[in-house]
Chain A
Amino acid sequence: MNKIYILCVDDEPDVLEAIERDVEIFEDVFPIELAESAAIARGLIEKITAQGDQLGLIYCDHVMPAMQGVDFLIELQQNERTKKTKKVLVTGQAGLDATVKAVNQCNLNHYIAKPWNGKELIDVTKKQLTDYIIDNNIDPRPYMSVLETSRLSEQIYKLGLWNDE
């Protein structure tokens, strides 16, 4: 079965570890990858898609060396393989301009301001991944336990998968 990945990008190792800790509970259903820069993230996405898996959700910091988060998300939006990936900007400081650009050009799905709290990050992860499953007509059954169960149940019904049981 194809795996759906979560990717977290932040240039500050302590912040990256904090995000990692908060999404760890999804690990056994949605493998997690980490990157300190857009360049590393790009390589990981290449690997994930090459092995036939997909990137379901990306958490991306905005203020980073070399390439800013918003620009990287726009790049992903323009790439067929990551167009559908749910994109979340995590930032301590993005000006209005950057945020507007993100919403308009990369179809930003959510915006998280630093510092966040653990529950917020978990809820956002659940919602975004549930959206991803539904939007892409993926069989929700393997993901029920860690995502929004009621919405996924409806989806199962809609897809006519109850009959299989």
Chain B
Amino acid sequence: MEFEDFKTEWAYKAEVHSVLERIKQLKNESIVFNAGQRIIAEGEKTDVIYFILEGQAEILKQGHGELVVDKFGPGDFIGLTAFLTKQPSLLESLAVSEVTCLRLHGVEPDHLTHEHPQVREIIQRLFISNLATRTRRMIGLNIKVAELGTQLKDRNRELNEAMQKLEHTRNQMIHREKLATLGQLLAGIAHEINNPCAALSRGVENLIEDLPKLLENNLQNQNSKLTAQMLRAGLDCPYWNSEVKHERMNYLMQTYSGMKRSLARRLARMSEETLSSLPCLKEKLSAEAMASLEHQLDYFDAGTYLRTVSLSSERIQKLVLSLKNYGKQDQGQAELFDIREGIHNTLIVLNNKLKNYRVNLNLEPIENLYCHGGEINQVWTNILINACQATPQGGEIDIRSYLEKDDIKVSISDSGHGIDPQLLGQIFEPNFTTKNTKADFGLGLGLAISREIIAKHGGRIEVANREKGGACFTVCLPLSLKDKYPV
């Protein structure tokens, strides 16, 4: 039963009414407050009680922006507590509408009950009823406060979650933006490098073709055939392994006694066949033979320089191509993409880091898939960087690609310290990081973003610790992407 009902049912409607009539007859001292008029001020001491006959009053607490504590109506007492305790009123009472009250002076209740014992019981019951009503309201309010507190906590939690989501989204956007910028930069730089590189490689190719011919046709040179042959031999000269070269130098210095190291070094670059084609190379080198030999060696060296230029320009071209493909920016739509080539390009881009590890590639042929290639490469990058950071130098990193049922799988495992089993469930959470602030990729977003990229392609990414140590990440992409776009 609500406290309002209680009042209406018990106090107001029945007995109270008749009592009031009687009291009114007795004293007939009623007082009217206009709407908005103060009945008792906060802090005021009072020796009267107002008994509301008609109208509504609000009970306010100042200092909290006029907090409405309660509403009183007919049958309620105003100033009851202040009167009974003889303390300043805790609250202010204000007429909301026109309020008609019966004013009972301090002496009157006693006087009244003394002179009219028949109303004594009713007055007491009114008092009790009023107090009971207030207690009930207080309990009700307390319950309400508790409910509101719980709601507030819930709301706070929701807000916190929303904040975290927002922060996550914001970080992701920053990361995406960075990647997009990186991609554009790579594409731009690649283009800029490609132009001079194209000129370089064409130039050197022409030179490689023309120079031996020019030498052959040089009528002033008696040895024109030989010099051209030396140049060609230089062009085909491999990069010798240092130990092999060391042995060849020693062999030459032993065979041709008194041969200087510098000459032996130059000759050591030549193959047996080239060496044997040098008529001037004798056991005892005369000054004339020596001059001739050096002359031929100069042509051979010129050939090796050209070979270096040519191979280096090829290397630059490949690097640039890898950079371009690595940072591939899709224009919204997924494209048919060679996952394995993407892995190769990622390895080239990360070569500097991966140099310190033994990387074992075991890439079985897999179908090309419709996907966002640049983003997929980002996934390999994130996993590989983590692998490097978790693995001591000289450790192993295994990369496999294979088909399993309806999934194309790529697994990357390392021989590092693995992942704390208690943290296995968290590592894909945004902002999860075990690295200190000095780490290269300190945002702690790498794996969260990787998971999202893979999820976007309808795939999943799994992680486990290997029995022999180290972690293994497995990315599964649905084979169905081979002939349809990711949803």
Chain A: minimal CB distance from B459 (Å): 33
Give the number of A-B contacts (CB < 8 Å): 52
Q: Is the CB of A34 within 8 A of B352?
A: no
Complex Cα distance, B373 from A86, in Å, reads 48
Complex: A65 Cα to B355 Cα, angstroms? 5
Verify B352–A63 contact, CB threshold 8 A: yes
Stretch at the interface among A12-20, A127-135, A152-160: A12-20
**Cβ contact within 8 Å between B355 and A14:** no
- Nearest chain-B residue to A40 (Cβ)? B242
Asked if A66 and B242 sit within 8 Å, CB to CB, the answer is no
Instruction: Give chain B interface residues in 335-364, CB to chain A under 8 Å.
Output: 352, 355-357
Report whether A66 and B356 are in contact in the complex, using a CB–CB cutoff of 8 Å. yes
Decide if B393 touches A36 in the complex (CB within 8 Å).
Answer: no
B243 A40 Cβ-Cβ under 8 A? yes
Contact with A along B284-328 (1 / 0, CB 8 A): 000000000000000000001000100110000000000000000
| A64 lies within 8 A of chain B by Cβ | yes
A4 is an interface residue with CB less than 8 A from chain B: no
**Is the CB of A68 closer than 8 A to any CB of chain B?**
yes
Q: A14-B312, A66-B394 are in contact. Are A27 and B265 (CB under 8 A)?
A: yes
Q: Which of A11, A24, A67, A93 contacts B265 (CB 8 A)?
A: A24
Query: Could you mark each residue 80-99 of chain A with 1 if its beta carbon is under 8 Å from any beta carbon of chain B, else 0?
Result: 00000000000001000000
CB distance from A141 to the nearest CB of B (A): 20
CA distance A25 to B357 in the complex (A): 36
Q: Is B213 an interface residue (CB 8 A)?
A: no
**Residue ID in chain B nearest A33 by CB atoms:** B246
Instruction: Mark contacts of B366-381 with chain A using CB atoms, 8 A cut-off: 1 yes-contact digit, 0 otherwise.
Output: 0000000000000000
B262 at the interface (CB under 8 A from A): yes
* Docked complex Cα distance between A18 and B308 (Å): 9
Complex: A123 Cα to B266 Cα, angstroms: 22
Given contacts A14-B312, A64-B355, A65-B355, contact A28 B242 (CB under 8 A): no
Closest Cβ of chain B to A2, distance in Å, is: 16
Q: Is the CB of B239 within 8 A of A17?
A: yes
Q: Does A32 contact B (CB under 8 A)?
A: yes
Q: Check B356 against A27 for contact (C-beta < 8 Å).
A: no
Q: Which residue of A lies closest to B307 (CB)?
A: A14
Measured between beta carbons, the chain A residues less than 8 angstroms from B356 are 65-66, 68
- Report A-chain residues with C-beta under 8 Å of the C-beta of B241: 13, 36
Cross-chain contact of B393 among A18, A27, A68 (Cβ < 8 A): A68
Q: Which of A11, A18, A25, A27 has most B Cβ within 10 Å? A: A27
Q: Are B308 and A14 in contact (CB under 8 A)?
A: yes
A28 touches B262 (CB 8 A): yes
How far, in Å, is B164 (CB) from chain A's closest CB? 33
CB-CB contacts of B138-160 with A at 8 A, as 1s and 0s? 00000000000000000000000
Assess whether B311 is in contact with A93, with CB atoms less than 8 Å apart.
no
* Contact indicator B262/A13 (Cβ below 8 Å): no
Q: Shortest distance in angstroms between A12's beta carbon and chain B's nearest beta carbon?
A: 9
Is B262 in contact with A34, judged by CB distance below 8 angstroms? no
Number of chain B residues close to chain A: CB under 8 A: 22
B261 at the interface (CB under 8 A from A): yes
* A34 → chain B closest CB, angstroms: 4
Contacts of B239 in A (CB 8 A): 13-14, 16-17
CA distance A36 to B244 in the complex (A): 12
Given contacts A14-B308, A27-B261, contact A63 B355 (CB under 8 A): yes
Is the beta-carbon distance between B265 and A32 smaller than 8 angstroms? yes
- Residue A103 lies at the interface, judged by CB distance under 8 Å to chain B: no
**Residue A35 is within 8 A (CB to CB) of chain B in the complex:** yes
Q: Is B245 an interface residue (CB 8 A)?
A: yes
Contact of A17 among B261, B262, B308, B357 (CB under 8 A): B308
A34 touches B308 (CB 8 A): no
- Tell me how far the C-beta of B270 lies from the nearest C-beta in chain A, rounded to whole angstroms: 14
Q: Does B435 contact A (CB under 8 A)?
A: no
Using CB atoms, name the residue of chain A closest to B262: A27
- Give the contacts of A1-55 with B (CB-CB under 8 A): 11, 13-14, 16-18, 20, 24-25, 27-28, 31-36, 40
Closest to A37 in B: B242
For B308, the chain A residues whose CB sits under 8 A away are 14, 17-18
User: Using Cβ atoms and an 8 Å threshold, which residues of chain B touch A25?
Assistant: 262
CB-based contact A16/B265 at 8 Å: no
Q: Chain A residues with Cβ under 8 A from B245's Cβ?
A: 34
For B215-247 the 0/1 string (1 means CB < 8 A from A) is 000000000000000000000000111110110
Q: How far is the CB of B37 from chain A (nearest CB, A)?
A: 79
Q: How far is the CA of A31 from the CA of B261 in the complex (A)?
A: 7
Q: State A63–B262 Cα separation when bound (angstroms).
A: 29
For B262, give its contact among A18, A24, A64 (CB under 8 Å): A24
Closest residue of chain B to A10, judged by CB? Answer: B242
What residues of A have a CB within 8 angstroms of the CB of B282 in the complex? Answer: none
Write out the residue numbers on chain B whose beta carbons fall within 8 Å of the beta carbon of A27: 260-262, 265
Taken together as a complex, chains A and B put the C-alpha atoms of A66 and B355 apart, in Å, by 8
Task: Give the residue name and chain of the A residue nearest to B312 (CB).
Answer: A14
| A68 CA / B304 CA spacing, docked (Å) | 29
A-B CB contact pairs (8 Å), 28 listed = A14-B308, A16-B242, A17-B239, A17-B308, A18-B308, A24-B262, A27-B260, A27-B262, A27-B265, A28-B260, A28-B261, A28-B262, A31-B261, A32-B261, A32-B265, A34-B242, A34-B245, A36-B241, A36-B242, A40-B243, A63-B352, A64-B355, A65-B355, A65-B357, A66-B356, A66-B393, A66-B394, A93-B352
Beyond the given A24-B262, A36-B242, could you list 19 further A-B residue pairs with CB under 8 A, ordered by the A residue number?
A13-B241, A14-B308, A14-B311, A14-B312, A16-B239, A24-B265, A24-B266, A28-B260, A31-B261, A32-B261, A33-B242, A34-B245, A35-B242, A36-B241, A40-B243, A66-B356, A66-B393, A68-B393, A93-B352
Residues of chain B having any CB pair with chain A under 8 Å: 239-243, 245-246, 260-262, 265-266, 304, 308, 311-312, 352, 355-357, 393-394
Which 6 interchain pairs have the tightest Cβ spacing?
A13-B239, A27-B262, A34-B242, A28-B262, A65-B355, A27-B261
